[in-house]
């Protein structure tokens, strides 16, 4: 093997090595603010390279029927997302932009709707100690035409573990 080929092969293997792939898991709680503030809970599992990452997340919000003037539906979402993020934290902050698509299930009384939706948003991962980070995220969900409220807005904070 010629020296230039050996160097090129070595660089390619280093770039594709498992050490350059990271994974993380997030457990979060926050507020779904559409049409009223309700608690949202969920989890996300992701993996990625330096700048591009992929994640799957599941979140659930319970319905609110105590306010007769404006009852709010229960909403469950399962989304696959792509994140664009800084390759390393800057002053312990790693901002990101995300977009994705998936399914949602909405219920309110006898109304039930299951369909597709998309989301867009962003946030920041704040380094706390070792692999533990705080994650703060804002998303806007565009739900298919049968949804009672679209777009839906969500803000959350959670603990993120990088591994």
For the chain, the average pLDDT equals 91
pLDDT of 70: 78
Number of domains the chain contains? 1
pLDDT of 13: 53
Q: Tokens 């990101």 sit at which residue? A: 96
Please check the confidence at residue 122 and state whether its pLDDT lies above 90. Answer: yes
Q: Which CATH number is 155's domain given?
A: 2.40.160.20
Distance CA 121, CA 123 (A): 7
Burial 80-102 (b: 16+ CB within 10 A, else e): ebebebeeeeeeeebebebebeb
* Residue 104 is assigned to a structural domain of this protein: yes
Distance CA 25, CA 141 (A): 21
Q: pTM of the prediction?
A: 0.84
Distance CA 90, CA 85 (A): 11
Please check the confidence at residue 15 and state whether its pLDDT lies above 70. Answer: no
Domain region containing 67: 20-162
């Amino acid at each position: 093997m010629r020296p230039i080929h050996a160097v090129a092969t070595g660089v390619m293997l280093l770039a594709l090595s498992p050490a350059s792939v990271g994974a993380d898991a997030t457990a979060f709680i926050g507020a779904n603010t559409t049409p009223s503030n309700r608690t949202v809970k969920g989890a996300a599992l992701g993996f990625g390279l330096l700048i591009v990452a992929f994640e799957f997340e599941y979140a659930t919000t319970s319905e609110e029927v105590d306010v007769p003037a404006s009852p709010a539906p229960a909403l469950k979402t399962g989304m696959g997302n792509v994140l664009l993020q800084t390759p390393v934290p800057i002053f312990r902050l790693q901002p990101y932009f995300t977009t994705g698509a998936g399914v949602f299930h909405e219920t309110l009384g006898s109304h039930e709707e299951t369909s597709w939706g998309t989301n867009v948003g962003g946030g920041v991962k704040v380094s706390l100690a070792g692999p533990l980070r705080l994650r703060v995220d804002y998303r806007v969900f565009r739900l298919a035409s049968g949804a009672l409220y679209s777009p839906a807005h969500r803000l959350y904070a959670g603990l993120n573990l990088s591994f």
